[in-house]
C-alpha cells in the first residue's frame, strides 16, 4: 500500500486542476498558470514532481502523471 502524501495548500490548488487533465503553462518569471490564472510557482511543481504526481511534457507544460490523475476523486468534490 502506498503511503499517504500530505499536500500544501498550493499543491492542492494546482493538483485539483491537473488531476482533471489540465496543464500548467509557464507564465512570467517562475509563475505557472492554468487557464490563464496563476496557480503556483515552479518550486511547487518540482516538489510535486519529486513525489511522482506531475511531469513536464515536450512543450514545457506540467501535467499530471498516472499517480496524479488517480487523485482526481479525492481532490474534486
Which class for 27: exposed (0-12), middle (13-18), buried (19 or more C-beta within 10 A)?
middle
State the CATH architecture for 9-70.
Orthogonal Bundle (1.10)
Please state the rounded mean pLDDT for residues 13-40: 94
Which class for 18: exposed (0-12), middle (13-18), buried (19 or more C-beta within 10 A)?
buried
- pLDDT beyond 80 at 3: no
pLDDT of residue 4: 74
Please state the rounded mean pLDDT for residues 4-33: 93
Compute, in degrees rounded to 10, the torsion defined by CA atoms 8, 9, 11, 16.
140
Residue ranges of domains in the chain: 9-70
- pTM for the whole structure: 0.88
pLDDT tens profile 29-77: 999 999 999 999 999 999 999 999 999 999 999 999 999 999 888 886 6
CA pseudo-torsion sign 9, 13, 19, 25 = negative
Amino acid at each position: 500500500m502506498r503511503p499517504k502524501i500530505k499536500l500544501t495548500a498550493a499543491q492542492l490548488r494546482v493538483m485539483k486542476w491537473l488531476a482533471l487533465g489540465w496543464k500548467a503553462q509557464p507564465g512570467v518569471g517562475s509563475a505557472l498558470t492554468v487557464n490563464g490564472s496563476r496557480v503556483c510557482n515552479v518550486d511547487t511543481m518540482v516538489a510535486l514532481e519529486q513525489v511522482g504526481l506531475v511531469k513536464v511534457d515536450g512543450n514545457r507544460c506540467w501535467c499530471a502523471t498516472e499517480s496524479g490523475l488517480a487523485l482526481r476523486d479525492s481532490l474534486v468534490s
